[in-house]
Amino acid sequence: MAQKKRKQHRRLPPGMTYAEALAQQRRQLEAVREAAEGDSYDRGFQDGKELTVWVAAVSLEDAYGFGPKRVDRFLEAFTDNMTEYVRMQEEGGEVYALEKLRQKAERVLGKEITYDDGY
């Protein structure tokens, strides 16, 4: 017999109404948008790349319940890493910068990454 799929509902933090949760999500998205439009993002987020940051920030909230402070810390680290990547590109070229990023991602993810992995 086929089982019915149940729609998964996100749990709200204790004492928070659905309206408050929606308002918090809206504030977080606005913070991400403002950050993506700031001067420090201009160089690394041309051509619609800010969408990646927005999706990552919203995913952090969905998966781990990150609030504005933790999302801000993520965005700061993301900006630092992007700035470092751009600096390495300028100093050592695209291949060098990509290889250094790949090595760091391997360490962080705990698995071997090849260029054909789709990352």
Q: Which of 38, 81, 29 is nearest to 59 (CA)?
A: 29
| Angle, vertex CA 40, rays to CA 21 and CA 109, nearest 5 | 65
- 13 is a domain residue: no
- 66 is a domain residue: yes
pLDDT computed for residue 36 by the predictor: 59
Q: pLDDT 10s digit of each residue in the chain, 119 long?
A: 455 555 545 566 677 777 777 777 777 777 666 665 655 444 444 545 677 778 888 888 889 988 888 988 888 888 888 889 889 989 998 899 889 988 998 998 899 988 775 54
- 43 is a domain residue: yes
Q: Which domain holds residue 79?
A: 18-109
54 vs 32: CA distance, rounded Å: 6
- Could you tell me the two tokens for 53? 């940051």
79 vs 73: CA distance, rounded Å: 10
- 67 is a domain residue: yes
Sign of torsion, CA 39 45 49 55? negative
Q: What is the tally of structural domains in the chain?
A: 1
- 5 is a domain residue: no
Q: Which of 88, 39, 81 is nearest to 56 (CA)?
A: 81
pLDDT computed for residue 32 by the predictor: 67
The pTM for the full model equals: 0.53
Sign of torsion, CA 95 96 97 98? positive
55 vs 111: CA distance, rounded Å: 23
pLDDT computed for residue 18 by the predictor: 75
- 55 is a domain residue: yes
